[in-house]
Structure formats: C-alpha cells, structure tokens
Amino acid sequence: MADLSAMSDSYTEHLGIDIRLSARVVDYFEHSDKGGVILDTGAKITADLVVAADGIGSRSGVVIKGKRDQPTSSGYAMLRATYATERIRENPLLIEFLKDRSSTEGIVGPGAHVITGCTGDNVSWMLTHKDKDPDGKDRAPSVDPKEALQYVEGWVPWLAELIKATPKMGAVDYKLLWRDPYPTWASPHGRVVQIGDAAHAFLPTSASGATMAMEDAFSLAACLQLGGKSNVALAVKVHNKLRFQRVTCAQKMGFKNRQQYHETTFKPAEEGTRPTFPMVGLWSSEHDPEQYVYEMYGKCANHILSDSPFENTNYPAGHTFKIWTVKEMRKVAERGENIVDDGDWS
C-alpha cells in the first residue's frame, strides 16, 4: 500500500496537481456550473467538479441529500492491535506463526473471527466481534487487549498468546459503522460527487472496500474523459448509474461473509484439508471498471437523457437487484441465519 501511495503522489506531482495539506473542509456547496468547498479558515475553493473522498464522516451529504446522515452501528465492532515482533520471538507457541514473515491468516468461530498478520518487524491481529452496545458511543482510544480473550476462548492456543503479548492498553476497540445504501452520490447540479466510503461504507469482511473506492476513481475519470468539460454533470450522473448496483452488491458481501464465518458449524475435516470460504467472487475480482465505462457510457447517457432502456451487467449474473438496509441484515444475524440471494455470486 505504501508503494501505491508513493506512486500516486509522484504521478500527481508530475501532472502539476496542487496538493494542500492541513486544509480541513467544513462544508460543500455548488452552483449550476461550479462546485466548491469551505475550509475551516473560511476560505472558499471552487472547481468544475468537487470529489468528496473524505470517508464515512463526510460533510458532503448536506449538498447531496439535504442533510448529513449519521452513521449507525452494523451490530459489530473490531478489536485490533499492532506491536513489535520482538515481544513474541521467545514464545514457543508462536514459533510457527513467525516462520513466514509476510503472512496473513484467518480464524473463524462462533460469533467472531480474527485476522492475524506478520510483516517485517511487526505483528497484528484484528478481531471482529458482536457490539455489546450497538447504539452507544465509541469507546476510549485505547483498551486492554485482554478483553479480546473472552471472544476466542477455546480457540487455537497460539492465538491467545498472540493477544496476551500485546502491550498494556495497546489495543483499540471501535464500532464498525454503516450507512444504508443510497442511490444518489451526486449533488443536484452534478458539481459535487461522493466516492469511496463517503458514498458507500464497507465492512472489512467484504474484502472490497478499498477496491470499490479505486474502481470509483477509474470509473469517474473515464466518464469525465468521455463526457468532456461541457458535460460534467451528465458524466457524473452516468458514473453514479453505472456504479450503484455493483457497489451495493459488494457491500452486501460484507454481511454475507460475516454471517457465513460466524454461523458455520464445522465438522471434522478430511486429513490435510481445511474449510475455506471465497470472500470475493469472480463477478467482483474480474471486473474492469474503466472498460465498462467505455462500453456502457453512451447507452447509459441516453437512458438518463431520454429514458431509453438500460440495464447494468456488472453485478452477479441472474441476481434480482433490490435495495436493502443494515436493519434487515442485523435481523438476519440475530436469527443466526446466513444471507441467501439469487444469482451467481461465485
């Protein structure tokens, strides 16, 4: 990820794009031909298009929806920590864990799952667990890592050792927040558009949040390229139409995967085998968002301008798309059921 960030920064500089650090956006606005932001200093910046990529706490909702939605709990929270490898080097139960210094491993069980990792000089663990107070506030910035032990009691012994080795108060426990899928990511004049978590929050179990944010960028850039400066608003609407159904399906994978992990009853595996679950289907991983724009832009633009027929083909084949809510997903989780949909999600 660091290499990708460095490459992006280098290319941005090559293009001569102005980067302003410590410029905190407190509000968004638009006119018929311009979008803009207001900084905490009171300064205003305008452009042909403002791309709100400021995460789930984005203030852009006011200019798009007429209000700033408050995110709600998905029903789960995450305990996580990262610390120096030196703290576990002498632990005999963790020798195997340290053999592969660039590995990640997933462990699933009743009501929780853990992802562990070892890279370079650091180790990390991330535990997704049920939120005991889903309607309450986030906890203190630092918590006792031993709180995680209650969720993995009876699991593989080395996992408990990995957690116990975490420095005192060296973990964080935060809510996995959510906004219900909303079909409009652009302001009425099409001069402010949301991408990434500002438009669509993701659970870690989707394994798709960063991917979909990058796909947004590829799609929006291609739409603007085809639409040109004189058709910014139309290009933004086409981008929104091409992306919404696909992204909403990818969001749902976070809930589907989580339920499958937490509600699966394991039976003894055959010798040399272990249970596995495909986190991301081919419908997601094999998609080219830029090429999709080149193929669909004209049809989608005609649909927006003249209401001609149009159907997306970038979500699971055979799936009957419909809007869903986090409340519905939480009810399924409370019943201990898996989420089943029509279509090919493989």
Q: Supply the residues annotated as catalytic.
A: 80
Residues β-bridged to residue 5 = none
From residue 318, how far is each of 243, 341, 342, 344 by CA, in Å? 18, 10, 7, 6
State the residue for tokens 């009171």.
Answer: 42
DSSP states of 197-244 as a string?
A: GGT----GGGS-HHHHHHHHHHHHHHHHHHH-GGGHHHHHHHHHHHHH
Please count the other Cβ atoms lying within 10 Å of the Cβ belonging to residue 74. Answer: 24
**C-beta atoms surrounding 225 within 10 Å:** 13
Distance of CA 204 to the CA centre of its chain: 6
35-39 and 25-30 beta bridge pairing: antiparallel
User: What is d(CA 278, CA 264) in angstroms, rounded to the nearest whole number?
Assistant: 14
Hunting for tokens 């632990």 — which residue is that?
A: 91
Residue 64 Cα distances to 17, 237, 323, angstroms: 26, 13, 19
Look-up: residue for tokens 């649909």? Answer: 303
Helix (H, G, I), strand (E, B) or coil at 30: strand
Determine the Cα–Cα distance for residues 201 and 176; give it in Å rounded to an integer.
10
